[in-house]
Amino acid sequence: MNKIILFGRGLSKFYGEGEALVSREAISFFGGVDPYSGKITDISHHLRGHSVKGKILVFPHGKGSTVGAYTLYQMSKLGTAPAGIINIIADHVTIVGCILSNIPLIDDFTLNPIDVISNGDYVRVDGRRGVVEIVQRKLKGNFS
């Protein structure tokens, strides 16, 4: 497979790579993600119970309290943070949290990344260049 490359706006100038975890729903880090396990705990979220730890987390935008930025920072210190975040349009809380936590963050793509990236794809996120590379597609099948 040839790499698929998406170009966006690098907001947090770091690098990360890993397996994609994709949601069409917004995510609140404060109260919606357990910082100790990295698992999504929001009872109304379709990814409830899934861990963001070491994943490239793809979702439209964040929501909720400004404490979400500190929650991302706490997750980075605990080793439970995502390896990168891709948003359609990033909110201020997610931007600040990623900068404090050295998590690459990219948004504002010409193509909707949620339509292009699938759960389980192996993705590289270069926040300095604003480049996302899908280097390996997950084989079709059940999402675990």
Position 99 in a domain: yes
Q: What is the pLDDT of residues 4-34, one digit of tens each?
A: 999 999 999 999 999 999 999 999 999 999 9
65 is catalytic: yes
Structural domain harbouring 69: 4-136
Catalytic residue among 65, 76, 101, 144: 65
Number of domain units in the chain = 1
Position 17 in a domain: yes
DSSP string, the chain: -PPEEEE-EEEE--EEEEEEEE-SS-B-STTTB-TTT-BB--TTSTTTT-B-TTSEEEES-B-S-THHHHHHHHHHHHT-S-SEEEESS--HHHHHHHHHHT--EEE--SS-HHHH--TT-EEEEETTTTEEEEEEPPPSS---
pLDDT at 144 over 50: no
- Taking all residues of the chain, what is their mean pLDDT, rounded to a whole number? 94
pLDDT value of position 136 = 86
Position 142 in a domain: no
User: Where residue 105 sits, what CATH number does that domain have?
Assistant: 3.50.30.10
Position 120 in a domain: yes
